[in-house]
Each structure stands twice: as structure tokens, then as C-alpha cells.
């Protein structure tokens, strides 16, 4: 999965340029691809993450009513349609 992630990152995506209203470059901070926060297409990242999980792992069309922290880095999610679920990992976008 990591190799697939590396294949979709946008090297140089953290470059910063500031121009005046005529288009004259005032500031340029290039990104050589070694910065720690690469840009990545969100749809592609989502595809990589979802295809790495079992098909029944993600619950679509459910509204999260509440979430409660438990001991040991566990969480209890309350879904009105399904009742409580206890999980060790929760991801939201």
C-alpha cells in the first residue's frame, strides 16, 4: 500500500510563490520533493485506503450519533440504526 501511495503523491506540491498583480514574482520557495507533507489527490488516496480493507469493514449511509473514548485506546461508536460498536481505530474524513 505504501508503494501505491508513493506513486500518487505530487512532488513539489508544497512550493510557495507570491506574485504581485502584474504577475511579477515577489517570493519563491521551491519544493524539491523532500518536504514532509506531499500533496496527494484525495480521491486516489481514498481508493487506496478502501481497497486495502475487507469489503464489510466500512459502513456507508450511517449517521454517527456519538463516540465515547474507552480505556486502552478503544472507542465506542453509537449508530442509531446499528447500536453500539467497539473499535480500536476510527477514521473520519
Where do the domains of the chain lie?
A: 1-57, 59-93
- pLDDT for 75 beyond 80: yes
pLDDT at position 78 is 81
The per-residue pLDDT of the chain, averaged, comes to 82
pTM of the model: 0.56
Q: Cα dist. 19→16, 22, 62, 63, 88 in Å?
A: 10, 8, 45, 44, 47
pLDDT digits (tens, 9 = 90+) for 28-51: 988 877 777 778 898 999 899 889
pLDDT range class, residue 89, cuts 50, 70, 90: low
Q: C-alpha cell of 63?
A: 449517521
Please determine, for residue 92, whether its predicted confidence score (pLDDT) is greater than 70: no
State how far the Cα of 87 lies from the Cα of 57, in Å rounded to an integer. Answer: 11
Better-scored residue on pLDDT, 30 or 11: 30
Whole-angstrom CA distances from 74 to 12, 65, 68, 82, 89 are 37, 17, 9, 18, 7
Amino acid at each position: 500500500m505504501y508503494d501505491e501511495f508513493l506513486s500518487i503523491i505530487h512532488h513539489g506540491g508544497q512550493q510557495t510563490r507570491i506574485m504581485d498583480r502584474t504577475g511579477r514574482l515577489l517570493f519563491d520557495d521551491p519544493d524539491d520533493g523532500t518536504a514532509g507533507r506531499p500533496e496527494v489527490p484525495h480521491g486516489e488516496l481514498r481508493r487506496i485506503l478502501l481497497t486495502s480493507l475487507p469489503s464489510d469493514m466500512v459502513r456507508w449511509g450511517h449517521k454517527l450519533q456519538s463516540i465515547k473514548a474507552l480505556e486502552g485506546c478503544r472507542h465506542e461508536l453509537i449508530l442509531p440504526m446499528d447500536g453500539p460498536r467497539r473499535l480500536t481505530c476510527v477514521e473520519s474524513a
